[in-house]
């Protein structure tokens, strides 16, 4: 993502987890874990939406962590249908708290990664959550904490906006809709980054 990005290899339940780490120049205010899209459909830590979220949260003073799920890049193991992937995320958070101190965690994710973070939030009490294009049609996505920032594209062809609204409605959870945006936010990444900048207050 930038010259200062470093790669770590973290011990996980299925072996090594490859993780890109960006730390702010000043003392960090928290740890932001950003999860990528589906591993079987090209999802990886260098996904453009994931990089955009990492940049925005780094600007807000968070250490930004972008792990590769098991079986992606240099991460060991094989796809586990969303079970082991949550365990991997938990392992990265535990490593980060040892590495950077017991800082409040923030969970962010895109598509499959957003669904996995919703599951992780049932184990880890995040300070904030940021879910983009959350894959509610393909996975069981539990309710998330009040105040979670949910962003979705108006023209998302992978996860229809109506599906996300159906998931959010019982929670009385607002959904911020980006007009004209598709699932991957083509030509809308700057808009996405600005939304995080203006709506992330913790």
Where are the domains positioned within the chain? 6-199
Q: Provide mean pLDDT across the span 15-44.
A: 97
Strand partners, 177: 152
User: Using 50, 70 and 90 to split pLDDT, how confident is the model at 201?
Assistant: confident
Q: Is residue 132 scored above 80 in pLDDT?
A: yes
Prediction pTM value: 0.96
Does the pLDDT value for residue 1 go beyond 80?
A: no
Q: According to the model, what pLDDT value does residue 3 have?
A: 56
pLDDT (mean) for 7-24:
97
* Sheet of strand 6-12, all strands in order from the earlier edge strand to the far edge: 6-12, 15-22, 62-67, 30-35, 105-110, 128-132, 149-153, 176-178
Q: Average pLDDT for residues 74-80, to the nearest whole number?
A: 97
**If we measure between CA atoms, which residue out of 82, 78, 105, 79 comes closest to residue 92?**
105
Q: For tokens 């607002």, what's the residue?
A: 174
The 10 Å Cβ neighbour count of residue 2 is 9
Helix (H, G, I), strand (E, B) or coil at 95: helix
Residue 131 has pLDDT above 90, yes or no: yes
Q: In the CATH scheme, what is the homologous superfamily, with its name and number, of domain 6-199? A: Alpha/Beta hydrolase fold, catalytic domain (3.40.50.1820)
């Amino acid at each position: 993502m930038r010259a200062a990005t470093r790669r770590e290899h973290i011990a996980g339940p299925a072996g090594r987890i490859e993780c890109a780490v960006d730390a702010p120049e000043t003392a960090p205010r928290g740890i932001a874990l950003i999860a990528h899209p589906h591993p079987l459909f090209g999802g990886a830590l260098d996904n453009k939406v994931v990089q955009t979220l990492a940049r925005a949260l780094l600007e807000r003073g968070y250490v930004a962590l972008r792990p590769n799920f098991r079986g992606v890049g240099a991460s060991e193991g094989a796809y586990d249908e969303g079970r082991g992937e949550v365990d991997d995320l938990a392992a990265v958070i535990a490593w980060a708290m040892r590495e950077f101190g017991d800082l409040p965690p923030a969970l962010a994710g895109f598509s499959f990664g957003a669904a996995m973070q919703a599951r992780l939030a049932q184990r880890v009490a995040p300070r904030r959550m940021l879910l983009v294009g959350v894959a509610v049609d393909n996975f069981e996505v539990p309710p998330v904490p009040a105040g979670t920032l949910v962003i979705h594209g108006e023209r998302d062809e992978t996860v229809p906006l109506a599906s996300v609204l159906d998931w959010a409605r019982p929670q009385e959870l607002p959904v911020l809709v980006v007009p004209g945006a598709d699932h991957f936010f083509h030509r809308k990444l700057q808009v996405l980054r600005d939304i995080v900048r203006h709506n992330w207050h913790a």
